[in-house]
Amino acid sequence: MARGRGEDDTLVVLDGVAVGLRRSAQARRLSLRVSGIDGRVTLTLPRRVGRSEALRFLEDKAGWLQGVLARQVAPVVVQAGTRLPVEGREREVMVGAVRAALIDGAALVVPQRAAGRVGPAVAACLRELARVRLAEACDRHAATLGRRHRRLTLRDTRSRWGSCTAAGDLMFSWRLAMAPPEVLDYVAAHEVAHLVEMNHAPAFWAQVARLCPGHAVHRAWLRRAGGGLHRYRFETAAGD
């Protein structure tokens, strides 16, 4: 085990795997986590645990860590010929004689001028699709509740699919454009329901059920398959 070159004490390397060390006042024990989204490995330490103890713990977990990483799905760099989900349906990325990126049957076509930047062009297309679909869904659900939301923003978030502030601002991951339409609609309903209930108490879930009957199925899809939407790499960030 060695220090990561050019890194400070918050990063170590174990058998070629970069491991971030994070201290937490809330942590009661050492815990090792591998992100199901991007494979990032983090070892969380209670405040009073020393670095040497943390490294011994990490070495003891080396076999487990390698096993988890081996089971993870490899990332996919989006380029011409890549097949990826769009609104829950697999489409093939193509370069064609179009003025702007568009969905044409089983294909997502980007303009010839974007041939050298296919990934960002696809991300921009998905982002715009998400904006249109989410705006419509949020407006519809807010009207049902007799409420109004404020600004709607899109980001390439990894820890959550959406959020709602106390002021009524909504934020969503534009990768929801890749999910089935009913899943996107559920996430919109979930966040709009927070305009009435800023919690996850039974009253909140009653509002979600009112807006999206059968929402448990869509919530389960996100838990089961949502992480897979983050395996696609678009080279240049089109979120944030």
* Domain positions in the chain: 2-71, 77-233
Dihedrals φ, ψ of 132, to 5°? -65, -50
Q: For the sheet with 162-164, list strands across it.
A: 152-155, 170-173, 162-164
User: Given the structure tokens 């996100």, which residue do they identify?
Assistant: 222
Given this model, what pLDDT does residue 188 score? 98
94, amino acid identity? M
Between CA 215 and CA 57 the distance in angstroms is 41
Q: How far apart are the first and last CA of the chain?
A: 35
Which of 159, 165, 213, 223 is CA-nearest to residue 185? 213
User: Given the structure tokens 């869904």, which residue do they identify?
Assistant: 137
Dihedrals φ, ψ of 153, to 5°? -125, 155
What's the CATH class of domain 77-233? alpha beta
Pairing of strands 89-96, 107-111: parallel
Token pair for residue 125?
Answer: 């297309």
pLDDT averages per 10-residue partition of the chain, 240 residues: 41 79 89 79 89 88 81 85 96 96 95 94 97 98 97 91 96 98 98 97 97 96 89 65
Between CA 104 and CA 188 the distance in angstroms is 26
Given this model, what pLDDT does residue 125 score? 97
